[in-house]
Structure 1
Amino acid sequence: MAKDQIQEEFKTPKWRRKLPLLLVAPYFIGIFWHALHPVASVLTGHMQPRRWYIDESSLDPSYFNKRGQFDALTVPTGWKRRSLCASVSRNARISCTQHPDGFEILKITPTQVAVRPVSEAIVLVIPWTASNVSNVFLVAVMKLIQQLQQANWIAKTLFIVTSTMESKMNLTSTVNRFLDVYLGPADQGTLFRPPLPHDMNGFLLRNLLVVDVQPQAQKGIVSSSPPVKSEIRILPQGRRGVLPNMDLVFLAMYVYSRSILTQTNKAVITMHPYRKEATQIQEYFQSIFTSWQVKQLQEWLPKMLELLAFEYSLLLEPYPPHAMALDRGIDALTIQALFAPGVDPNQFTADCIQRLEYVLRALSNLHERLHHSTSLYLLASPERFVKHEEYLVPNLLLLIPLVVRAVTLVLVDIPAFHWPTVQYTLFLTLCCVTAFHAIVSKMDKEMIVVSFLLVSVTISLLLRLGLRRLSKQTAQFVACFTALLLHIPIAFGHVSLAFPSALFWAPLIAFPSFNSSTHEEKDAKRAIHRARSVILYALSTGLIGITLPCILLVPRVFPYYTIYVRYAYMPLHALLAILYLS
C-alpha cells in the first residue's frame, strides 16, 4: 500500500514540476561546493580551508630553525665529478656498492640507540650523473654525507641511491630499477635482476625522498616571460590518485618554509609543477575582467587555480619520480628545487640541502610507520588542505541526479520493466568494450580512429534498424545504475578523476527524459515531431562521435588508454550510444 501511495505521489503534476529542480539543483550545488574549497570549509564553518598540522608527535620540529653547516659552500679548486662510490671514503658506518643494473647504493648505518630500529631504512634518491646537475649540488651532497656519518641522531639505515656514470638514468628510472631489485619486480614480465649484497638487504623501507636541484626551465603555456622567483616544489602526487601520508608532506613543507630564501621572499613553495602557468592564466583572466573590482573574486581566483593545478597534476602524467614507491606502499615524496636567473646557486643549493638534513633528522626520529593523519586529501595551498570528508560531499552531489532519475524511472515512468532491453544493452556494451580492447591492443593510432568510426556507424545502424523495440527508459535506468557503480568507488579513491568524470557523465545520462507519453500526445503534428526527431538524432550522432575515446580523450587528455578509459569511460560511452541512438 505504501508503495502504491508513493507511485501515485510521483505521478502528480506537482512532482513533475519538481523533478527538473531535483535533477539540476544537486549538480550545481556540487560544482559550487567544489569551488568553495580554496576559500571556505563548509563542514567546519570556517571561511578558509584547514591549516596544516603534523599529527605524529615523534616528528620533532625543535631542530628545524637552527643554523646549519652549509652557509659557506664552495666548489674546491680542481674538483672533478666522479661516481658516488668513488667519491666517499668507506668506514664502519658507510658502505657503497654498484649494481649491474646501472645504479649505486650508499648505505649509512645508524648509531646504536636504545630502541635499535636498525631494520628500518630511509631512501634518498639524487640525480648524481644528470647533465643539468651542477657541481655545487654534488659538493653539497658530499658534505651532507660527511655530516650524516658523524651525526649521533641517526636511528635508521639511510640509503642514498643514484645512477651510475655509465647508465645516466633519470630519477624515475633510478627509483623503479632500485625498487625492482630491492623488493622484487612489480610486473611478472620483468626480467630477472641480480640481488643486492647481503648487507644491503632486509630493511623495511619506511620513506623514500627524491631530491633534485637545478636551474628553472624557461617555458610556459600563455607567455614566455622569465620567472621572477625560485621554486621549491614539494610534490606528493602518485599514480591513480595515490598520495603519501599527509604528515610527510607537511613535514617537508614546514621545514622548507623556514628556509632563508622563502622567508626573504626569494623563493616560493608549490605543490605542483604548474605555478608559472597558473600565474599566467590568472593574469590573462584579470586582463579580461579588469572592470571587476570585487575583492573576494580577486582573492578566490588564484586560490582556485592552485587547487585545480594540484588536481590536474594528480590526474595526468607525467608523475613525479617517487610514484612507483607509492604503488609499493612506501610513503614517498619528491622535492624539486628550481633556482631562477639572478639567484646565487651556491646559497640556494646549500639552503635546500640543509633543509633536507632536517627532514631526514625528523624521519629518523620516528620509530614507526607514519600511521596518524590521512592519505586522502587535496592541497589547496602549501599551507591549506581539503580533507576527504569535505571533498567527498560535492563529488557525491554530482551523482544525485543519477539516483533521482533511476528512482523516478523505477517508481513512475517504467510501467513494466523491459528485461530484453537489459539483456540487449548489457550484451552490446560488453561487445563494444571487447572490440575496444581488441582495437587498442592491435592497431596503431590512425587505424584506431578509423576502426572506432566504423564500429560506431555499425552500432548506430544496428540500433536504428534492428532494435527499435528497445525501451529507452529501461536503457536509461541501466545507464544510471552503471554510472553510479563506476563513480562511487572512484570518488572514494581518486577524487581528481571522480569530479570531472561525474561532471561530464551525470548530465548526459540523467538530465534527458525519454518519456514515451509525450510522443503520443503529439500524433496530430507528425511532421513537426518527425523533423524534431531527425534533428535530435543528428545531434546525438554528433555527440557520440565527438565523445569517442580516440577523439576526445586520447591523446588530448590522457597520453594512452588508461584503466579509467578502458573500464569506465568506454562502457559508459557505449551505454550512451545505445540510449541516444536506439
Structure 2
Amino acid sequence: MLNRVRGKFDYSNCNRLGISCDFEAKICAELGEARRLSDSPAMAQSDGNKLKPRPVVRLGILLISQSFFVSVICLTAGVLALLLLPVLAKNTYISENALMPGSANNMLSGQDVSEANKLVKDLTSLELRLMGLGMESQRLISQYMSDLGAEVSYHKFYPQLHQFHPLQFFSGPDSGIIWKNNSCSSIGVNTVGIIRAPRGDGKEAIVLVTPYNPNKIGMGEALSLGIAYSVFSLLSRVTWLAKDIIWLVADSQYGEYSAVADWLREYHVPVFRKVNTGDTETCIESNILYELGQKPYADRKLYEGFKRAGTMAAALVIKVTDQNDYFEDSLNIYAEASNGQMPNLDLINIVNYLAVHKQGLRIRVKKMLSLLNSSWLNTLGLLFESLGQIARSLNPQWKFGIPATEYVEGAATLASSLYYQGLGVPTGPHGAFRDYQIDAITLEISPKVSLTKMARHNEFLLRGGRLIEGVIRSVNNLLEKFHQSFFLYLLTSPSKFVSVGVYMISFALLVAPLPIVAASLHADANNFDCNIVKEKSSSRATSGSKDDVKHGSWNWLNSAKKVFVFHLWGAVVSLLPYFICQMPNITPKTSFLLWALLSGFSLLILHLILGSQFSETAVFQPQDREWANLKSATISASFIGLCLMSVINFAAAEIGALLIIPMCLMARPLKLDIGAKSLRNFAKAACNLLFGFVGFPPVTYVLLKGVFEGFYEINVGDFWNWVESLWAWNSATYLFVGMVLLPCWALCIYILFHPC
C-alpha cells in the first residue's frame, strides 16, 4: 500500500490491486491525493489525516489482493474450530431459578404404583383375550381416567396421507389431507383426560403424551400408560398444582406423530370437516362415543366435543422400550424437531438432573456409533489431550483439553446432533409441539431386563413415575414460558452442550472467504476493462470504443444470467418429484432414474432457452475472463444461499458449507491445469474432480450412508426414499439441497469443463 501511495499515480497500479474499474478509479484518486498532500508538509500536518484512504478501504484491498492466503487460513481455522467443539463444550446448568428441580420430596406412593400396575395387567390381559378389538382398551383407559375425576373426551382424526407439498415447507405435515374413500374403521381416536389445577386459573397446562396402538398393545406401551397413570393419579389429589394437566393417549396405529399433530391442530385452530363414509349405520355402531354410553359405563362422566385447557407450558412424551442391553435402567432423550428446532435447554437439564441424581437412571442421547471406533478421531482426541496436559503444566488455570475417550464420545454425539438437526425431520411426536412453539421432548425409558421377564414392575413404575412427577413439579413452578436458557445449541453429551455463540464461529470462518474470493475474481476479470479506461484517459475514444467500454463494464451480467438459469433449474428439479409421485405403482429405483432423466432434460431445455449467448454482452467478453466472472457469481450465490439457510437451519447450513465451499473455491477449468503440465496443476485438477464427484448430492448420500451404516446395504432407490422423507415432512433441507447445493455443483462442473 505504501509503495502505491509513494509511487506515481497511474491506473496500472490499480489494475494490480484486483478491484473493479469504477471503485478502482475512486481509490486511486484518493491515493493520488494522499501522494500530493504528502509532498506538502504543511498541508499534510493540517489536513492529511482526513484525506488519507480509509482503513476499511485499505483493509478490503489487502484482503482481496491476498484472497488465496485468506481462504486457506479461514478454511483451516473453520474446520479446526468444528473439531474443537467437543473440547469447548460447557457443562449444562439450570438457568431458571424458579424450576428448583429436586427441591421437594416425591409424593408418588406405592398405592399409585399398584393402581398403575393393575392398569398394565388389565391392558395386557385384555390384549390376550380380545386380540384386535381396540375399542375395549380405549374404554378401559377412559374408565380409569374417569375414576380419578378427570374430564374425559375423545378426539377423532383421519389417517394422514404423506405426499409432496411444494408450497407447505417450513411447517409440519398437513394432516388436513386424508385418505380417499375413508371408512369408519380407518378413523383414529385419541383419548384425552384433563385435570383442573386447584390453584390455577385454567390459562396454562402441562401435557403428558403416551402413544399406543389400541389394536395391539405391547408390554412397553402398557408400561408407558402405567407410568403416566401413576402420575395422573397423584396429580388428581395434590393441592400445589397450578397448571392444568392434560393426558393425551395418542392412537398410534396410523403413526405417533400424525395423532399428536392432528390433536394439536384441533386444539389451537379448530377444523370442521365432514367426510362421507357411505354407510351411516356402520358408523354409528362403530362410534366409540356411542359404545361408551352403553352400560356398564353409562355412569361415567364423559364430555362431548373437544375439551381444552390453557396454554401449554411444556409437553413430555413417555415411551418404554425393550432394549435390555445395559446393566442399569436407562433413559434416552429425543429433542430434535422440524427444521432443526430444539426445546429450551432447561427442559433437558431438569430431566437430566432428576434422572441421574434422584432416580439413578443412565442418560443417553443419540451417537454416531461408527465414529466411536474411528482411529483418526481417537488420534485427534489423544492430540487434544496432550495439548491440554501441556497447557495445564504451563498454567494450572488453563482448563483446555479433555480425555481422548470423552472427546471421541463427544464428537460422535455432536455429529449425531448436527445430522438430526440438519435433516430437519422430527425424531418423535414431540416435534409436533415445536411447530406451536411449545417445549417438548420424548423420554424413552429402557429397563435393564426384558419387559416380558420383569418381576419388578412396581419398582420400574415407581422410578419412572417419580421422574415424571419431578419434571412436572419443576415446570409447575414457572410463572412464564421457558426463556432463560438456550434454544440454539448442540449436545455433546447429556450434560454438556455447545452454545450458538461458540459453534457459529466455525460457520463464520468457513463462509468468510466467499465474498473475498468473489470480489477478487470479479476484479481480476475486469482488468481488461480497466485497460480500456486507461486508453480512454490518454486519448479521446471513438464512438465504437465507447460502446466497447459500455459493454465491457457489464460483462458480469452474462455470468449472472447463467447462474440464474442453473438455480431456476434447481427449482424445477425440486418440483419434479410432485409429478413423479402421481404415477401409480412406481418403485423407488424407477422414480430415481426417471427423476435423473427429467432433470437432465430440463437443464438442457433451460440452457437452450435462457442460457444461450444471444446477448451482445457476451461478444465483448473473452473466454479466459468469462469463467472467472462465472465463478465469482457462483460463489456469491453460494454465500447468499448458505447465509439464508443458517437462519432457517444452522446444522444443514454447516454441513452444506463443508461440501459447497471447497468445491466452489477450487473450481477452475481443467484445460488450464492440464495445459500447464506440472505436478501442482495436475494435483489441482485431481482435487477438482474429487470435489466434483463427492459434491454430487446422490454420491454424497451414498458415501455418508456407507461410512455410517456400511456399503453392503445401499441400493439405487435409497436416495429417493431419503429425499421422499424430507419432502413428506416439509423439511427446508430438501429445498436447500435442490435449490442451493445441486445448482452450485452443476455450476462448478460447468466451470471445470469450460473451454477457456
Same fold by TM (over 0.5)? yes
Query: Is 1:297 matched up with 2:297?
Result: no
Query: Is 1:441 matched up with 2:578?
Result: yes
Query: Is 1:96 matched up with 2:152?
Result: yes
Query: Is 1:180 matched up with 2:265?
Result: yes
Query: CA 1:169–1:110 in 2, change beyond 3 Å: closer, same or farther?
Result: farther
Q: Which amino acid aligns with 1:89?
A: S
Separation in 2 of the partners of 1:483 and 1:286? 30
The offset of 1:199, in angstroms, is 7.5
State the SS of the aligned residue for 1:366: coil
- Runs of 5+ consecutive residues of structure 1 not aligned to the other structure: 41-48, 218-225, 263-267
State the SS of the aligned residue for 2:99: coil
- Alignment partner of 2:364 out of 270, 274, 280: 270
Query: Is 1:126 matched up with 2:210?
Result: yes
- Bigger drift between 467-476 and 439-448 goes to 467-476
- Runs of 5+ consecutive residues of structure 2 not aligned to the other structure: 20-61, 124-136, 158-188, 277-302, 387-402, 530-552, 581-590, 702-718, 728-733
Aligned runs of 1:527-538 on 2, under 5 Å? none
Q: Which amino acid aligns with 1:314?
A: Q
Larger Rg: 2
User: Going by fraction, where is helix more abundant, 1 or 2?
Assistant: 2
Identity within the alignment, %:
18
- Alignment partner of 2:372 out of 282, 289, 300: 282
Query: Is 1:364 matched up with 2:476?
Result: yes
CA RMSD of aligned residues (A): 4.2
State the SS of the aligned residue for 2:505: helix
- Bigger drift between 198-207 and 370-379 goes to 198-207
Instruction: Indicate if the aligned counterparts of 1:487 and 1:498 stay in contact, CA closer than 8 A.
Output: yes
The offset of 1:552, in angstroms, is 3.9
1:43 aligns with none
1:325 aligns with 433
1:452 aligns with 599
Separation in 2 of the partners of 1:117 and 1:334? 28
Instruction: Indicate if the aligned counterparts of 1:58 and 1:365 stay in contact, CA closer than 8 A.
Output: yes
Residue by residue over 1:176-199, the C-alpha shift from the partner in whole angstroms, topping out at 9 and shown as x without a partner, is 12112212379x99989xxx9567
Aligned runs of 1:84-483 on 2, under 5 Å? 84-90=141-147, 94-101=150-157, 102-111=189-198, 113=199, 116-129=200-213, 130-133=217-220, 135-164=222-251, 168-184=253-269, 200-201=307-308, 203-216=310-323, 226-262=325-361, 268-272=362-366, 274=367, 278=369, 281-283=371-373, 285=375, 296-316=403-423, 317=425, 319-341=427-449, 346-415=458-527, 416=529, 418-443=555-580, 444-454=591-601, 469=623, 471-483=626-638
Count of matched residue positions in the alignment of Structure 1 and Structure 2 = 536
Query: CA 1:199–1:156 in 2, change beyond 3 Å: closer, same or farther?
Result: farther
Residue by residue over 1:533-554, the C-alpha shift from the partner in whole angstroms, topping out at 9 and shown as x without a partner, is 9x95x99788657644455443
Residue by residue over 1:119-175, the C-alpha shift from the partner in whole angstroms, topping out at 9 and shown as x without a partner, is 1111111124442425444333322222110011111111100135xx745432221
Residue by residue over 1:310-348, the C-alpha shift from the partner in whole angstroms, topping out at 9 and shown as x without a partner, is 222222346221112101211111111122336855433
Separation in 2 of the partners of 1:67 and 1:565? 51
1:39 aligns with 87
Query: CA 1:492–1:390 in 2, change beyond 3 Å: closer, same or farther?
Result: farther
The offset of 1:303, in angstroms, is 1.6
Query: CA 1:357–1:15 in 2, change beyond 3 Å: closer, same or farther?
Result: closer
The offset of 1:7, in angstroms, is 5.5
Residue by residue over 1:522-543, the C-alpha shift from the partner in whole angstroms, topping out at 9 and shown as x without a partner, is 9xx97969xx99x95x997886
State the SS of the aligned residue for 2:263: helix
- Alignment partner of 2:640 out of 455, 475, 485: 485
Query: CA 1:451–1:214 in 2, change beyond 3 Å: closer, same or farther?
Result: same
Instruction: Indicate if the aligned counterparts of 1:123 and 1:161 stay in contact, CA closer than 8 A.
Output: yes
Query: CA 1:402–1:78 in 2, change beyond 3 Å: closer, same or farther?
Result: closer
State the SS of the aligned residue for 1:506: helix
- Bigger drift between 505-514 and 235-244 goes to 505-514
The offset of 1:367, in angstroms, is 2.1
The offset of 1:106, in angstroms, is 0.2
Query: CA 1:408–1:435 in 2, change beyond 3 Å: closer, same or farther?
Result: same
Q: Which amino acid aligns with 1:486?
A: G
Separation in 1 of the partners of 2:342 and 2:666? 34
TM-score normalised by L of structure 1: 0.79
Query: CA 1:546–1:304 in 2, change beyond 3 Å: closer, same or farther?
Result: closer
The offset of 1:496, in angstroms, is 1.6
The offset of 1:9, in angstroms, is 4.4
The offset of 1:456, in angstroms, is 6.1
Separation in 1 of the partners of 2:497 and 2:210? 28
Residue by residue over 1:294-320, the C-alpha shift from the partner in whole angstroms, topping out at 9 and shown as x without a partner, is 664344222211211222222234622
1:220 aligns with none
Query: CA 1:451–1:229 in 2, change beyond 3 Å: closer, same or farther?
Result: farther
